[in-house]
């Protein structure tokens, strides 16, 4: 356990990149560095949910698969996130249909509808220990903007047969234990879990089916080799037929221009000590995962040991380890006054991969090379699903999601300015809801 500090202090907590999750996760099966030259069918770059789920499906189908990660499985967003298993894409159902068009839209919507189911099916099938619960997901709405958004969102989900329900002020207050919202949406398919344990569980299942996972093995170069590809790392290389990029908000310059597919946006999380029964009983009694309709929102839940965990926007510039969590802590205490006086033990941050049009990207970069990224903060369930999509494509079954050519974010060089302006505008509009 990290050393506790007094409420309000902002230093000395969670020296590890994954903060609380690194301390409470199940152990990681060994993932040796790539050494020497290996032949295989598929190389996957990035060992988060996307890469590990792809590896699991491929290995289960008898494909020889190697996963490389610059650090360790789950080092990226998959070991840092809020643990909220939230349904769908960032886009609402009608937006998905409009974005993908009459041919691909219905299939894309079916994929979006089944992301949470996939996570819980994998947990059940591979007996992944990750403190998973499935009480549903709640979105809190404030003011007339929140009401309009939620009425429309619930209407759309219900029209497509989903168990979404509109909550009035009293209902949302009873469900969550806060007076912060005027309205709410409960979506029954959501839940929450220990994110790093889920990643490690996927890694363990993939390895049990024959996948090889190499930690501390950055992919440093990629070149054509006959009909396939040669992937090099510091101490070894892989000769394969297919390469899958699963690097999301941590995409580097390995494939020219690929980092321009997304805009990494920082998010910071703070977690309390385990709450006493007295405090815990009034806060999120049903253990729901919660986010908001606010343009600059927070997201929160209780973890399996009764800690309150809340995340929100980090600064535009800087290093995730140095982010301040003061704003999210203050918001937590405003929403749940019983948290005043509770110690905050952990803080950490990470880079969420946003896309310009809020749609996830599944791209064919070259023959035999696929990439998936851009989960827009909805990535726990969605990137698990997109890992499966890449595996289906490699297996010749065909991805259910449309695959596009390489995507470039317009004006990517000015992305930080764009994020800053977007957040400033959002904060302003949130005052006049
Ligand atoms: C603070 C925070 C909170 C979030 N909360 C939620 C939430 O509650 N619910 C939700 O649905 N989503 C949430 N998200 C988003 C979600 O975590 C991500 O969308 C998801 O984990 C992405 O998984 P991934 O496998 O695609 O990428 P990642 O897990 O980020 O994995 C990418 C991996 O690629 C590796 N890599 C990069 N380049 C190379 C290279 N050249 N060679 C080898 N390896 C390389 C990195 O080391 C990294 O491990 C959150 C994100 C953050 C940052």
User: Would you say the CB of residue 87 lies under 6 angstroms from ligand 1?
Assistant: no
| 3-class SS string, 280-325 | HCCCCCCCCEEEECCCCCEEEEECCCCEEEEEEECCCCCCHHHCCC
pLDDT at 13: 47
Would the CB of 331 count as within 6 Å of ligand 1?
no
Which one of 46, 50, 212 would you pick to mutate in the ligand 1 pocket, going by the greatest count of ligand atoms within 8 A of its CB?
A: 46
Best residue for ligand 1 mutational test, from 77, 216, 300, 346 (most atoms within 8 Å of Cβ): 77
Q: What is the ipTM of this complex?
A: 0.99
Residue 387 Cβ inside 6 Å of ligand 1? The answer reads no
- Measured from the Cα of 301, ligand 1's closest atom is 8
Domains and CATH numbers, the chain: 20-81+196-256+358-418 (3.50.50.60)
Task: Tell me how far CA of residue 327 lies from CA of 269, 270, 315, 323, 342, in angstroms.
Answer: 10, 10, 11, 11, 16
Residue nearest to atom 9 of ligand 1 (CA): 84
Give the pLDDT score at 336. 97
In contact, 302 and 401? CB cutoff 8 Å: no
Ligand 1: centre distance to CA 48 (Å)? 6
How do the pLDDT tens digits run along the chain, 433 residues long? 333 323 333 333 445 678 899 999 999 887 799 999 999 999 999 999 999 999 999 999 999 999 999 999 999 999 999 999 999 999 999 999 999 999 999 999 999 999 999 999 999 999 999 999 999 999 999 988 899 999 999 999 999 999 999 999 999 999 999 999 999 999 999 999 999 999 999 999 999 999 999 999 999 999 999 999 999 999 999 999 999 999 999 999 999 999 999 999 889 999 999 999 999 999 999 999 999 998 888 999 999 999 999 999 887 777 766 677 888 999 999 999 999 999 999 999 999 999 989 999 999 999 999 999 998 888 999 999 999 999 999 999 999 999 999 999 988 888 888 888 888 888 888 887 7
Question: What secondary structure, in 3-state letters, does the chain show?
Answer: CCCCCCCCCCCCCCCCCCCHHHHHCCCCCCCCCCCEEEECCEEEECCCHHHHHHHHHHHHCCCCEEEECCCCCCCCHHHCCCCEECCCCCCCHHHHHHHHHHHHHHHHHHHHHCHHHHHHHHHHHCCCCCCCECCCEEEEECHHHHHHHHHHHHHHHHHCCCCEEEECHHHHHHHHCCCCCCEEEEECCCEECCHHHHHHHHHHHHHHCCCEEECCCCCCEEEEECCEEEEECCCEEEEECEEEECCHHHCCCCCCCHHHHCEEEEEEEEEEEECCHHHHCCCCCCCCEEEECCCCCEEEEECCCCEEEEEEECCCCCCHHHCCCHHHHHHHHHHCHHHCCCCEEEEEEEEEEECCCCCCEEEEEECCEEEEECCCCCHHHHHHHHHHHHHHHHCCCCCCCCCECCCCCCCHHHHHHHHHHHHHHHHHHHHCC
Residue 248 Cα to ligand 1 midpoint, Å, equals 6
Provide the pLDDT for residue 322: 66
355 lines ligand 1 (CB under 6 A): no
Q: Do residues 273 and 75 lie in contact, with contact meaning Cβ atoms separated by under 8 Å? A: no
């Amino acid at each position: 356990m990290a050393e506790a500090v007094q409420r309000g202090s902002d230093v000395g907590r969670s020296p590890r990149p994954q903060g609380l999750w690194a301390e409470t996760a199940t152990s990681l099966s060994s993932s040796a560095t790539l050494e020497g030259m290996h032949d295989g069918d598929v190389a996957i770059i990035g060992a988060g949910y996307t890469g590990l789920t792809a590896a699991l499906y491929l290995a289960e189908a008898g494909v020889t698969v190697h996963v490389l990660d610059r650090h360790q499985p789950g080092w990226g967003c998959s070991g840092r996130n809020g643990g909220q298993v939230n349904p769908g894409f960032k886009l609402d159902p009608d937006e998905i249909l409009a974005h993908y068009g009459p041919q691909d839209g219905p299939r894309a919507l079916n994929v979006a509808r089944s992301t949470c189911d996939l996570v819980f099916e994998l947990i059940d099938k591979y007996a992944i220990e990750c403190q998973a619960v499935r009480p549903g997901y709640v979105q809190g709405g404030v003011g007339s903007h929140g009401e309009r958004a939620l009425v429309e969102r619930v209407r759309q989900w219900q029209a497509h047969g989903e168990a979404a329900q509109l909550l009035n002020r009293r209902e949302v207050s009873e469900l969550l234990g806060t007076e912060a919202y005027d309205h709410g949406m409960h979506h029954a398919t959501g839940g929450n879990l220990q994110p790093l344990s889920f990643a490690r569980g996927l890694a363990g299942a993939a390895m049990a089916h024959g996948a090889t996972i190499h930690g501390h093995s950055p992919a440093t170069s990629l070149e054509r080799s006959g009909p396939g590809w040669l992937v090099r790392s510091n101490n070894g290389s892989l000769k394969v037929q297919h390469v899958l990029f699963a690097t999301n908000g941590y995409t580097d310059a390995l494939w020219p221009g690929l980092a321009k597919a997304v805009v990494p946006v920082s998010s910071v999380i703070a977690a309390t000590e385990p709450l006493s029964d007295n405090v815990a009983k009034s806060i999120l009694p049903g253990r729901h995962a919660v986010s908001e309709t606010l343009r600059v929102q927070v997201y929160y839940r209780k973890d399996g040991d009764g800690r309150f965990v809340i995340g929100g926007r980090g600064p535009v510039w800087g290093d995730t380890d140095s982010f301040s969590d003061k704003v999210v802590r203050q918001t937590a205490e405003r929403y749940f006054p019983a948290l005043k006086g509770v110690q905050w033990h952990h803080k950490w941050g990470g880079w969420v991969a946003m896309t310009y049009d809020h749609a996830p990207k599944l791209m064919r970069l070259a023959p035999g090379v696929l990439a998936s990224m851009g989960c827009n903060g909805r990535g726990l369930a969605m990137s698990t699903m997109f890992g499966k999509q890449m595996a289906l494509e490699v297996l010749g079954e065909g991805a259910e999601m449309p695959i596009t050519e390489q995507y470039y974010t317009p004006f990517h060089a000015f992305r930080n300015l764009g994020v800053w302006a977007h957040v400033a505008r959002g904060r302003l509009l949130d005052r006049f809801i």
